[in-house]
Amino acid sequence: MENRRLPYIDNMAAALVDGAGRVVGWTPAAERLLGLPADQVTGQPVRALLAEPGHKPQRTHDGWTGDTLLRTGGGYPLAVSYRVLPLMADADGPRHLVLGAPAERVAQWRQDHAFTRELFLQDRIGLAVFDQHLRLVRTNTHLLPYTGLPPDLRGHRLDEFIQAPDAAALEELLREVLRTGRPAVRAEVLVRTLDDPRGGVVMAIEAFRLTDVSGRVIGVTALFSDVTEVYRSRERLGLLHRATAAVGGTLSVDGTAQDLAAVLVPALGDHAAVDIAEAVFTGEEPVPGEDGLLTLRRTAAAGQAPPTAADVVVDAELPAGTGEDPPSMTAPLRARGILLGRVTLHRDPAAGPYEEADLDVLRQIAGRTALALDNARRYTREHRAAVGLQRSLLPPAETDTAAATTASVYLPTDTASGVGGDWFDVIPLSSARVALVAGDVVGHGLQASATMGRLRTAVRTLADLDLEPDELLVHLDDLVSQLVVDDGELDDDGDRSSDPVVGATCVYAVYDPVTGRCAAASAGHPPPALVHPDGRAEYLRISPGPPLGVGGLPFEAVEVDVPSGSVLALYTDGLIEGAGADLDEGMAGLLERLAGTDFTGGLRAAGRAVVDGLPTERLADDVTLLLARVREVPPEAVASWTIEADPAAVSGVREAASRTLGEWGLDELVFTTELVLSELVTNAIRYAGGPVEVRLILAGTLTCEVSDPSATQPRMRRARLTDEGGRGLYLVAQLTNRWGSRYTRTGKTIWAEQ
């Protein structure tokens, strides 16, 4: 049968030679090897086949052997290794069996044999051969370097002496190699015997499939070596890197402690506790008492452990050390020679005591954490006033208007040069609209903060005029240009500003919940992003104008449809830029994070998720993010009428408005609304002509709008006792919460809110 073939014999050419040296037998393999058919060779002297007639074989204990050149049917010599074996003589005399194969192939066979023999004899690399059913067939002497193994492993399966999870993982690896034929390279597997109490060893496995000469799979071979120490060293180094990144990502004392505890469990222990001196939380230096003791507060813990006291008292000279009952380690959190706290680790006794290498890595982590804690302490002290200033200059973190709900994230990352100039704002406008603003003043420090406050005030003042986004930026550009000039002037001492403001960027967007459209313009600022209700994210196609302060160049506004439930995201460049970072990559990354963020849990959590996705090294500038989930005013909450410039039409408007308010359940506002509309419509007909558009909007408040084709703004004045008119706008102001007017593309709109 094919699968019974013997690889060496089946590839050997053979000839039968009589006592006179003539060929009397010639196998098909010999015909293929030399290209000579049997009828040409049989009966000829065997020496006639030699290409080197002077060749003499070497005598062995059971015959002869050697390497020589043979003639072939193709006319070229072939190097052959051969062996001559004497056979029992028969009636025709003695006989000899000559076996031969190409010398190159024989050399390979010898190398394969030597390699296999030496591989099983060496003791540096473990070797195991499994059959196709994953039973052990052959191993060298040290399959595992500790107790718990049967004396003879042949015929055993792995789960007969290795713990079930480890055996299953290893068998799955070998089974995959058997199935696919793809070798396994540097696969690391934990191996624990059934009766060894220790934590086992980590084996590096190299495995490849075995097939016979016919290609049939006959098993798998695995080479393995103990890489436990290398693995643990790599894990300790990885833990050190993770801990450094974790504790360096915040300037919060609590956050640093919690990050430290979280990164240590379960990597280095089953329970971690971080104790911090009370003074650190207020930005002060911890000072030991007269007895040399320092009170620490339990700030963070991770893992399962019995409850401990909230406060502990320790020696201010606390050293690092280990204990064995149960296994524990303690390292001080010390920076600039000051003890800020300590970190303590415990683990299950079954895992064995801690090693010196474990304590060494804990000391390194503690040292880096102490530096982060000291930075957080000094930041807390030095920036307390700055944080108060920031909060006073920025709007509430969350707002809720008729047009949108908003939430913001503000991360001041620069702790050396001071507070940055990033800002945002949410400004309610007339007719249920809302303005969303984000800006960035160039520079840091108090000068940038003061300029930020001035610009925010200016934007709010200009927004109150209901200007279009591009027109508002023109006025804001003029203001910044003047600020740049003022900051460059000499002061009373003949010195210029130490930190002059050289410009700013700003994006201004207005969303109208009635039309569901958003108009936006940019002065050198990144465009807002729009996250659709289905999760798709894109940037508004704004052509940004120059930064504020350049002057003399126009700004272009864009208007887009924004579906209800969408989220608009305004931000500053700290969210998309970093040291050496590509701007296009940063913007693409922000879109990806926005598209992958779950907004159903609230905008505040969503904003934090977007910011938390930033790599730590990217936070080289202040990060500002404003999220606004927009909503539309339903069509049934809006009513509008168009009338000609005819005083007789006023009564029809009053009647229609009364019916609408009745349908809305606002009967108590009918009288006031009729009076307001009468005054506004009458003034529009008298002074502006027609057509006149009247609109009622119910969105949080009741807004009455009257639009006419005149660009002349109304002016409220105090009428004299003898005047017959002039009291209309005065009455409107007294009867409503607020009123105003805004320019439109076709004239103006006067509005009043109740």
Do 706 and 689 touch, CB atoms closer than 8 A? no
Q: Report the 3 state secondary structure along 370-402.
A: HHHHHHHHHHHHHCHHHHHHHHHHCCCCEEECC
pLDDT (tens digit, 9 = 90+) per residue, 57-89? Answer: 899 888 899 999 999 998 899 999 999 999 888
pLDDT (tens digit, 9 = 90+) per residue, 465-501? Answer: 889 999 999 999 988 888 766 655 544 555 544 445 5
| Local structure of residue 162 (DSSP, 8 states) | B
Do 68 and 83 touch, CB atoms closer than 8 A? no
Which pLDDT does position 291 carry in this prediction? 86
Mean per-residue pLDDT for 31-54? 90
pLDDT (tens digit, 9 = 90+) per residue, 709-746? Answer: 988 877 665 544 433 444 678 888 888 999 988 888 88
Residue 640: pLDDT band (50, 70, 90) is: very high
Q: How many CB atoms neighbour CB 582 within 10 A?
A: 12
CA distance 742 to 465: 7
Range of weakest confidence among 27-31, 179-183, 480-484, 578-582: 578-582
Which pLDDT does position 579 carry in this prediction? 54
Is the pLDDT reported for residue 707 higher than 60?
A: yes
Range of weakest confidence among 293-307, 378-392, 540-554: 378-392
Q: Report the 3 state secondary structure along 337-368.
A: CEEEEEEEEECCHHHCCCCHHHHHHHHHHHHH
Tokens representing 591 are: 């879109």
Residue 307: pLDDT band (50, 70, 90) is: low
User: Which domains are seen in the chain, by residue range?
Assistant: 2-109 (3.30.450.20), 124-226 (3.30.450.20), 233-382 (3.30.450.40), 394-630 (3.60.40.10), 635-753 (3.30.565.10)
Is the pLDDT reported for residue 139 higher than 80?
A: yes
Tokens representing 163 are: 């713990």
Which pLDDT does position 597 carry in this prediction? 92
pLDDT (tens digit, 9 = 90+) per residue, 191-225? Answer: 888 876 567 788 899 999 998 877 889 999 998 88
Mean per-residue pLDDT for 672-692? 90
Three-class secondary structure of residue 8 per DSSP: coil
Is the pLDDT reported for residue 638 higher than 90?
A: yes
Which pLDDT does position 542 carry in this prediction? 93
Q: How many CB atoms neighbour CB 207 within 10 A?
A: 22
Which pLDDT does position 497 carry in this prediction? 47
> Is 66 exposed, middle or buried, given 0-12, 13-18 or 19+ CB atoms closer than 10 A?
middle
Alpha helix segments (H runs only) across 164-252: 164-180, 228-247
Which pLDDT does position 725 carry in this prediction? 43
CA distance 478 to 463: 15
Residue 665 or 690, more confident:
665
Is the pLDDT reported for residue 621 higher than 60?
A: yes
pLDDT (tens digit, 9 = 90+) per residue, 583-606? Answer: 888 899 999 999 999 998 899 999
Nearest CA-CA partner of 520 in 564, 553, 554, 471? 471
Determine the angle formed by the axes of helices 253-264 and 356-382, rounding to 10 degrees.
160
Residue 37: pLDDT band (50, 70, 90) is: very high
Range of weakest confidence among 262-276, 302-316, 481-495, 704-718: 481-495
Residue 2 or 531, more confident:
531
pTM: 0.52
CA distance to 9, 81, 99, 100, per residue, from 109 (Å):
12, 11, 15, 13
| Local structure of residue 464 (DSSP, 8 states) | T
Which pLDDT does position 585 carry in this prediction? 87
CA distance to 68, 242, 363, per residue, from 262 (Å):
74, 11, 17
Tokens representing 752 are: 């009043």
pLDDT (tens digit, 9 = 90+) per residue, 411-428? Answer: 876 544 555 678 899 999
Q: Which stretches does DSSP call E strand in 238-350?
A: 271-277, 293-303, 311-315, 321-324, 327-335, 338-346
Residue 391: pLDDT band (50, 70, 90) is: low
Which pLDDT does position 197 carry in this prediction? 59
Do 166 and 189 touch, CB atoms closer than 8 A? yes
Which pLDDT does position 53 carry in this prediction? 79
pLDDT (tens digit, 9 = 90+) per residue, 158-190? Answer: 888 888 899 999 999 999 999 999 999 989 988
Which pLDDT does position 580 carry in this prediction? 57
What average pLDDT is seen over the chain?
85
Which pLDDT does position 421 carry in this prediction? 77
Which pLDDT does position 306 carry in this prediction? 57
Mean per-residue pLDDT for 652-679? 94
CA distance 741 to 715: 10
CA distance 598 to 336: 43
Which pLDDT does position 554 carry in this prediction? 86
Which pLDDT does position 98 carry in this prediction? 92
Which pLDDT does position 81 carry in this prediction? 92
Residue 235 or 540, more confident:
540
